[in-house]
Every structure is written in structure tokens, then in C-alpha cells.
Structure 1
């Protein structure tokens, strides 16, 4: 069993796609840009919110100025509405509780901005004593840079071979590879299983229950 298990947030712990889509569409509409179906956002997210806005904007409108404008509208709206439709994936709370009961250190490493990451984790998992809850922070490279994983491992006193990183996207798989930790795909998330398979992770879990079986055995 691992000493430390680090989870991605969006698409891994919580299905946040409807609220992310709603807030981005709100900002796009306010600026007169076309909107997108909720399902399209599954492929827009994963690299931080600025990249989300860039992908959501029309190709000819993807300037730094327009990204900043969308961001200025998105953040206050999303801060108020980020738990409207978002919910933990069925079975994921049991996974966290079971790992915690086994003495495994738990942490979150997300590319979502820090304020929203903390709010969602504390709202939906108040009973879980995560050693670190990290979102996108100033001067810390976003995933797939491994910096956030290294920071969490240092806090936990865990070596790479004692650590597992779990996420639902290619960005997450590359993060685990870059950090040289055991990398596990969450196939219930936003991206297709084939995207995870391309990175040859140690394991791909189709359900949270399968993840728990793999981690605890």
C-alpha cells in the first residue's frame, strides 16, 4: 500500500463540468461570443482556467486581453456557483474514507485556481484530512509540471515509490510520469479511456470501487 495518494480534482474527485461550462458560457455571453454545449467543455478543461478560456473563445479572438476579460467575469460568477451542479463521483467519498482509515496520507493537486479548489474540497469532503490541497498558485508551474507533486511528497515525507497520483486526463498521466510516481487513470472522468491508455499508466480504474481494490488489495 502507498504512503501517499494524490488526487486530481475536476473529473477525478468531483464532476464539475456543468458548473465550469455554465460560468464560462456566462462570461462568453456577456462579451457577445458564441456559447458551447456542456459536453464540449470536457475537452477544454485540464490546463488551468486561462487555457480553458483560450479554447472556449473563437479562434480569431484568442488574445491575452480577451482571456483576461473572460477571466474577470468568470471568477466572481464561478465563486458563487461552483457547487450548484457539481457533485463527487459516486463511490469516491468511500474511497477517500477507506484510504484515510488505512493511514494513507491524502492530497489534492489541481490546475483549478486555488480559491475554488479549497472551497470545493472543504465543502464536499469535510471529513477528510488532506495533508495538502493545492490548486493553481502564482509562481508554481501548472501540471503536467511535477512541481506540485514534489511539494506534496516533501510535506508527506514520501518517496516516489511510496506515492500514487490519480487523474482523468493526459495532463494528469504526464504529471505522474514527470514526477516518477505510480500513475493511475480515472476512466470515469472527463476524458476518454483511450487518452489515458496512450500514456501506459500503472493501472486504469473504470470505477472508484476498482481504484480502491487496486490501492488496498
Structure 2
């Protein structure tokens, strides 16, 4: 079986937190709602939009969650059109991807972004052909449901025991566990290390290149 590394996008590959917070603030203001504090909004990054709105406003009706999600999309797309969206790669991500590929790993993405949003992001960095599988919220249930990882494994010819999920949120780690894969937490993102471990991370890296020395430990699990 092939070895597969499945990456989250926001908070793992790219630092998009400021863009997300800005679009979320615009959305809540439009609907006459109090803007959630940054430390609260960061905790829902990684969920699909409707689920994120439900987490922020658990007492609201589902129709309102959907309306907020649609408003968020409009605000984010307007910001992108106006050149106000910046999604830089975290330092060390290019070198991490290079090292994994040299070592024979296939690469995939599993993200709460839409197909369109992910395509824009990857194209900006010239990475649109780098990943063997791109799984988004357009075609799957929200994390932590394992659907995205299952499809990525099918695309790559990988198995749960030969797959790692690298992500910065508890949702990513719970998704890995649900898929039978191994989760490596990305502590450089939006959830802290304790949350990642509690959600099932087998190991946590403080920076992207810190993933590499963890892989021999993970390899022991992958090989049984």
C-alpha cells in the first residue's frame, strides 16, 4: 500500500486566520450580531461553514446558520476580488512537502474550504498539481467525519494503517481517528497541543519541519 500524508489547509498549510476572522466579522455585522472574539472564532476554523456557524450560535435555527454561511462566502469572495485575501504558506511547509515526496509519500488535502476556495489558494502558490487528492466541504460532511480521508485513501491507493493526517485542529485529529489513520498535530495553527492530543493526535509538531522526526515513530505504528 502507498503511504499517504493528508494535510488540512487553513492553519496547517497556510496562515489564513486573519482573512477568516475578517469575513466572519463582516458577516455578523451584516446580520446585526455581536462579532465573536478572535479566540472563539479561531476554534471553529476547520469546520464546514454551516457547522462553524452552528458552533458559534448554537441557539439559532438551522436556516440562520445557512444564511450566515452564504453571507460569509460573499464577504470572503468580495475580499478576494478586491485583493484583500492573503494566505501565505507557513514557514517550512515547502520544505516539508519536498521531504515527504522525496521519501515516497503521496500528498493530499482535506479541508473545510470549498473546491473554489482551495483551488484559489493552491494556485496562488503553484501547488494545484502537487496533491494526488483534493477533498473539500463541497463533497463531504464536515470534519470530524472521516469521509474526506476515506476518499483520499481511495484516490491514493493507501490504507488507514499507511496514512497520516496532519492538521492543526481537534477536528482534524478526530477525523484521523475515525478513519483509522494516524493523526499528527500541527501546533503552529489554531488549536493548542493539549487539544490536539485530547482529540487523538499520536504526536504533535511545533513547526512544519518538526513533522519529519516524528515519522519514524509513526512508521512503527504503520508497519505494525
Q: Pick from 34, 45, 68: which aligns with 2:66?
A: 68
How high is the TM-score relative to the length of structure 1? 0.87
Unaligned runs of 5+ in 2: 218-224
How high is the TM-score relative to the length of structure 2? 0.85
Deviations 1:79-101 (A, max 9, x none): 24356233221111211122223
Residue 222 of structure 2 aligns with which residue?
none
| Residue-pair matches, total | 213
Q: Post-superposition shift, 1:30?
A: 1.4
When the two chains are superposed, the root-mean-square deviation of aligned CA atoms in Å is 2.2
State the distance in 1 between where 2:148 and 2:70 align. Answer: 26
Q: Post-superposition shift, 1:15?
A: 1.6
Structure 1 stretch 79-88 or stretch 106-115: which is displaced more?
79-88
Contact 2:134 2:152 in 1 (8 A): no
State the distance in 2 between where 1:165 and 1:92 align. Answer: 15
Q: Is residue 187 from structure 1 mapped to residue 187 from structure 2 by the alignment? A: yes
State the distance in 2 between where 1:43 and 1:90 align. Answer: 22
Unaligned runs of 5+ in 1: none
Distance change (3 Å), C-alpha of 1:56 and 1:201: closer
1:114-153 aligned at under 5 Å gives the runs 114-126=115-127, 129-138=130-139, 140-153=140-153
Residue 46 of structure 2 aligns with which residue?
46
State the distance in 1 between where 2:55 and 2:162 align. Answer: 36
Deviations 1:18-53 (A, max 9, x none): 111111111111122112333331113232111222
Contact 2:4 2:163 in 1 (8 A): yes
1:131-210 aligned at under 5 Å gives the runs 131-138=132-139, 140-210=140-210
State the distance in 2 between where 1:204 and 1:152 align. Answer: 22
Contact 1:49 1:113 in 2 (8 A): no
Q: Post-superposition shift, 1:209?
A: 1.4
